[in-house]
Amino acid sequence: GGAFVSAIMDFAINTFAPQALRLTVAVFNQRALRLYQDQGFEGTTRFFHHQTEYLVLMKPITPYQAR
């Protein structure tokens, strides 16, 4: 899990040079939520869609992370 997420993050950072990464995860998916938090993502917003609660997570990208 963590190596895959790291590879995707590296690709996004190196290809698009974003200022931040954002993703959305269902709150009931605690395993994924923990994985993203371990990668440095922090929750910013919660919302409901079709009776399911979601959390938007953000990770700011610092200049040293972009290679």
- Whether residue 11 has pLDDT greater than 90: yes
The pTM (predicted TM-score) of the whole model is: 0.83
Query: In angstroms, what CA-CA distances link 24 with 2, 7, 33, 67?
Result: 17, 18, 9, 25
The strand order across the sheet containing 42-49 reads 20-26, 52-60, 42-49
For 18-58, how does the pLDDT look when each residue is reduced to its tens digit (9 = 90+)? 999 999 999 999 999 999 999 999 999 999 999 999 999 99
Q: Which domains does the chain have, with CATH numbers?
A: 2-65 (3.40.630.30)
The reported pLDDT for the residue numbered 61 is: 93
The predicted pLDDT at position 62 comes to 82
Q: What pLDDT was estimated at residue 17?
A: 87
- Start-end of H helices in the chain: 2-16, 30-38
Q: Which pair of structure tokens corresponds to residue 26?
A: 């269902």
